[in-house]
Structure 1
């Protein structure tokens, strides 16, 4: 699968923004491996302040704990790139924002940092609606750092659209 182009991500973000506005929903992002790229795609859309609440970029364990409330035990037992961490990130994003929907991403974009269990391209994405249950999926994206990050942004936006129903 080819990573989405800038034009495709912009189209996807615009469509999602239109849906969020129509539903009167607000979104928060919690990003590790994408470094704020999801938030950037969304806020590139004029009028995004009507439906985008805030974005948090959390690379370190300390930032994940301080800004999102990820438990040290979770990070120690499962690592930053795990279902458990992604779920705590997405839940914490809702706790620490005024948004009604959240998406969180954590992964290994490369070129280094991978392992046999978690190779480069491993990304966990979690989604949650305020008052609901979090869902999370793991992806194994191919390509270089940019390709992994582009694919992550695309899948994250797809999942928010699915959460809207």
Structure 2
């Protein structure tokens, strides 16, 4: 996924996706939880900007530090020690923890390196793992790789957009 747009334009697109989520999930009586690190609550904020979101948004966790991931979501310390905070295993454990600690049927999580610093050769700026867990299914992770030269706000906005799209896609697959 590449964007010629700036972060503000991407977030405008996100509002449209969030409105679709609220409408579709409300009709189905389905709730959502979020667990966010690098986006710092932007996914939850985007959904709750939409009128009627209380019918679909159960709760959100902003777990920026490793201690918060462990304390609030039940991410295993050994997962963080072995794989790091930015890993598919951590993303899955974050989503599974948000699901277990909520009344939601779906939970999404994101953990990554939004920059401009903090990246390494193995885990560069722009690397994000998104987790998705469903009450009636397995938790899974997807790797997102954004351009490491993008500004921080663009990486975060693109991550929100990809997460909202993935949530819609999973919901549609499950309800086809």
Tell me the TM-score normalized by structure 2: 0.91
Q: Deviations over 1:130-163 (max 9, x none)?
A: 1310121101112110010000000100111011
Q: 2:164 is matched with which residue?
A: 157
Match of 2:115 among 92, 100, 110: 110
- State the alpha-carbon separation in 1 of the partners of residues 112 and 61 from structure 2: 15
The alpha-carbon deviation at position 54 of structure 1 amounts to: 0.6
Match of 1:86 among 68, 91, 99: 91
Match of 2:151 among 132, 144, 147: 144
* RMSD of aligned residue pairs (Cα, Å): 0.9
The alpha-carbon deviation at position 7 of structure 1 amounts to: 1.9
Cα pair 2:115 2:125 within 8 Å, conserved: yes
> Could you list the runs of 4 or more consecutive aligned residues of structure 1 that deviate by over 6 angstroms after TM superposition?
none
For structure 1, the 5+ residue unaligned runs are: none
Whether 1:44 and 2:49 are equivalent positions in the alignment is yes
Alignment of 1:49-64 (within 5 A): 49-64=54-69
Q: 2:28 is matched with which residue?
A: 23
For structure 2, the 5+ residue unaligned runs are: none
The alpha-carbon deviation at position 49 of structure 1 amounts to: 0.3
The alpha-carbon deviation at position 23 of structure 1 amounts to: 1.4
Q: 2:100 is matched with which residue?
A: 95
**Secondary structure in 2 aligned to 1:5?**
helix
**Secondary structure in 2 aligned to 1:80?**
coil
**Secondary structure in 1 aligned to 2:14?**
helix
Counting matched residue pairs gives: 165
